Every structure is written in structure tokens, then in C-alpha cells.
Amino acid sequence: MALRGRGFVSVGAVAACCALASACSPDQAPASTPSPTLVTTTPAESQIERQMRLDYEAAEEAYRANRAEQARLYQAGGTTKVTSAMKATATDSYLRITVEALRRIKKAGWKATGATEIVGVVANRGWKENEVELTSCEDSTVVRFLDGSGKDVTPATNRRYVQALKVVKLDGRWKVSKAVTTKVNSFQGQPCGA
Amino acid sequence: MRSIRPYQILVVGIFAVLPSTVWVPVAWSEADVTCTDAGFCVNVAKQPKRSSPAKRSDANSAKDRPDGGDEENQKVREANKKFSAALAVYDRRLASYNRCLQTFDPSVNKTGCGSAPTLPDVPRLSSATFSGRGNQPTPTAGQAAAIAVARLQLPSIPPGIGPSPDINPWNMAAVGYPLWLWADGTTNVGPISDSVAGLSVSLEAEVSSLAFRMGDGNTVRCAGSGHPWTAAVQPGTKSPSCGYSYAKPSLPGRTYTVTAVANWAVTWTSNGQSGVINVPAVDTTELPVGELQVLVR
């Protein structure tokens, strides 16, 4: 109802305050002109929200550190020992499996070039004290493997993974505990996809 | 609080073969498998932690090992796999629903979500998939909690807007007038108990955050559930916690669709473990907003 015209001035809700809010009588004096206020407010982060955010950040940091160490070891030709960086960032089945894979690389005399790309990491629904779950999209197709003679022996298998990760806090440190892998042809539509 | 279950790694033959054949893709697509950079995959099977009920006793026996066991235990494992798969589908749909709600504004962005998103169906333990002797899955506490939370069907939160346009002669809100916003419904639920496949789950839910998409492209985020406007509020008073003033009218001919997107934080406890599951809820209302004029002589 924009009744703009000669003699009319839009003044927001000056005289209409009383009518808009049933609390006032018709005789009541108009309230002062309210100025339009800015719109968006930022909510205070609750204690639990802060804790969850920090836990997820720390868990992702541990996971990324672990993957960086794995990449280094793959490029170095595997290992038969568990490095301190691996132990600091992984535990349980995840540590055992990743170390076993590196041991196999060492035994076969292979070396890797390139490193797995972490396309994205997202926090899963739910949070527990000292345990969170992440979903990561890993693209290992860029990693090539060469045998001792320099021959490319990269496996032909699909190596695009969606990893459901369980990350636990042990003695104050977050460590990847378990990964459940789903092989995908594309990360499109995946929660962790680009 | 932390509960790490022992896991047994089944290295299925893969270590016993030659390196040239090590990398052949494994065919355990339905099992829990961890794959590494070189395509090296290992089956990771849980040794389920059993805690109580008698109905789960058959799965509780020493024979219930991931690497062996009788036919009955095999059925339990298969039921668990199916259940986990069903729950994973549910999780993906819930994640999609949550992502959709991040931008859902029916009055501004109709392409992101299409129509109002709906929560996905919960995997039903009573379905044919899980009927019959030995076919009942043995979910983890977290899985049981997810099911219980989904069953809870938490209510949406209607957007409370005051003063209501119904109480003025023009039946509209006015540009520039401070509106109060609040959660016009229950903001606490529970504690409630549920039982999922023999696991008792205790739930307590509260609205932890509330956002109003005002229909004009702006969003108001409230730290709490807002203060309801009452007739005792002096005209022109701003809400102490959550409010908004429109800068432009929707009228003539239109209304603003105000959407309340609430987050239910559901705290669950089961089998000595606990956690929080966030469940969003969305509700809308239509609000006509116009300009008021006064004659200046």
C-alpha cells in the first residue's frame, strides 16, 4: 500500500505503532520513530558447539598429518617400522593396515610418485567425547608406483575412495582409528566431494 | 566415556600372494574394508561388544567371531551389514537434507532444494530384511541412538512473529517496525527412553540454535529461542534477543515467507556411551509487510 503522493510522507511506523501493537490506546502519543535495524546477528557459540568444533578440527588435523606421513613413506619406498609420526596420528586397525601396506611396498621394492589428494573432509553426524567421525574423499589415482627397475606397476584398480573415518582421542591426542572405504567412480554428490 | 572396541583384522589372503597380484581389486564390497593408496584393501571386521539382553546371547558367544562361526552367526553378521548399509543410506540422505537446509529459503532460492525438504525415512528394524531367526542386527550404541533419534520425530518450530499482523487494522506488519522473533513451540523434549534391537537409549533434546529466513533475502540468527512478544510490550520496543525490521514491503500482492530453521541438539546415552546428534527442523509462515504513511500538514 504505497500511498506516496503530494502531502504524504512515508515515515515508517511512526503513527502506526499504536495500531500495530495492540498494547496502546488510540489516544496514546506516537512512539519515537524506530530506525530500521540491521538484520543479521551472530549467535554466541555455546560451550558444546565450541568443543565439537575444536574436536572436529583437531581430528581432521590428525588425519591430514597422517596422510602426509603416509605419502612421505610411500615416496620413500615404504617402511618396515612404524614411524613416530604414524603412531602419533593413527591407532588400532587403521594404523595396522596402513603400516602393513607400507611394509608390502618396501618388500616389493616399489616407490610412489605423487601423493593422494584429499578432495575434501567433512564431519559426520553425531559427536562423542573423545571420538568423532569424519568422511574424507581421497583420490589416489595420481599416485604412480614404480618397481625397482623403474617400471610403472601402478595397479589398475579404482583408487578413488570415500573413507568413513573414526578418529579417537587417546592420551590427549587425536588419532585415526578406523577407516571404512567405499570405492567411487566420482566424488560428485559425495558429502566430501568438491 | 570413550569406547574403543577391539577390532579384528582379517587379512584375507592378500598377504599370501605375489606382489604382482597383490593389487587385484578385492571383492568385499559389502564388508568393512580399508583401502590404501596402492589399492591394497583389508577387511576390517568388528568383534561386537555385547552387553546385555538375553535375546542377543546367541551372538554373544565365543563362536561369534568375524573370521568364523556357525551359520547363525553368519546371519547375524549379514544382518549387521544390511543394517549398517541401510543406516548409511539414511545418513547420506540426512546429510543431504541438512545441506539443503543451509540455504533453503522458499521465497528466495527455490532451486537449491526445490520444495521444502523432508527428513528421510528411518531404517526399519521390523522390515522383512531383518525378520526371522538370527536376522536381527546388533547395532552399536551410536547406531541405536541414530535410530532412536530418528524415531523421535522432533517437532518443527513455527516461527513466532510479534506483534502479529492480525491485531492491527491493516492486517500487516509495517516496514521499519521492530518485530520480535521467537520459537513458537516446544524447545525441550525429554528425557525419553527407547529400545533399539535390545539396546536401551535415553534421549533429551533441546533447540540449540534458531535461524529465521525473513523472506526478503535476509537471515536472522538467534542464540537462543527468542523472547515471545506480548501485549505488554511497549510499542516500538525491540526484542532483547531476536528481532528484525523489514526495509521493504512485500505488499501489494505479496507476502514474505518467513522460514524458521531450528537445530535440535539431541543428547543420547546408551550402553555407557553418550553423544549428541543434531537434527534440523524447518517451518514457515506467511507475513504481509506494508508501508504506513502519515499525512503531514
pLDDT above 70 as % of chain B: 63
- Grid cell in block for residue B43: 577387511
Which residues of chain A does B231 touch, with a Cβ-Cβ cutoff of 8 Å? 21-23
CATH architecture of A47-183: Roll (3.10)
Which residues of chain A does B227 touch, with a Cβ-Cβ cutoff of 8 Å? none
User: Out of B39, B214, B221, whose CB is closest to A42?
Assistant: B221
- By the 8 A CB rule, do A147 and A108 touch? yes
What is the distance in angstroms between the Cα of A136 and the nearest Cα belonging to chain B?
13
Cross-chain Cβ contact A20/B177 below 8 Å: yes
Query: pLDDT tens digits, residue range B10-45?
Result: 233 333 222 322 222 222 233 577 888 887 777 675
Query: pLDDT tens digits, residue range A88-101?
Result: 999 998 998 899 88
For residue B266, the chain A residue with the least C-alpha distance is A126
pLDDT above 90 as % of chain B: 4
pTM: 0.43
Q: Mapping DSSP to helix (H, G, I), strand (E, B) and coil, where does residue B61 land?
A: coil
Checking ipTM against 0.90, whether it exceeds it is no
- Provide the 10 A C-beta neighbour count for residue A15: 16
pLDDT at residue A159 is higher than 80: yes
Largest alpha-carbon pair distance within chain A? Answer: 97
- By the 8 A CB rule, do A161 and A184 touch? yes
For residue B224, the chain A residue with the least C-alpha distance is A43
Which residues of chain B does A145 touch, with a Cβ-Cβ cutoff of 8 Å? 38
Instruction: Output DSSP code: residue B121.
Output: P
Cross-chain Cβ contact A34/B297 below 8 Å: no
Query: pLDDT tens digits, residue range B97-119?
Result: 777 777 666 666 555 554 444 55
Query: pLDDT tens digits, residue range B232-271?
Result: 888 888 888 899 999 999 888 888 888 888 888 899 988 7
The three state secondary structure string of A71-119 is HHHHHCCCCCCCCHHHHHHECHHHHHHHHHHHHHHHHHCCEEECCCEEE
Cross-chain Cβ contact B176/A169 below 8 Å: no
Q: What's the rounded Cα separation, in Å, for the pair B71 and B73? A: 5
- Grid cell in block for residue B12: 584375507
Element containing residue A62 per DSSP (H, E) = helix A47-75
Q: How far is CA B256 from the centre of its chain?
A: 27
- The rounded mean pLDDT for chain B is 69
Comparing C-alpha atoms, which of B182, B261, B169, B185 is closest to residue B225?
Answer: B182
CA distances (Å), origin A103, targets A15, A97, B215, B291: 81, 10, 59, 74
pLDDT of residue B19: 32
pLDDT of residue B127: 52
pLDDT of residue A60: 95
Domain ranges of chain A: 47-183
Cross-chain Cβ contact A191/B99 below 8 Å: yes
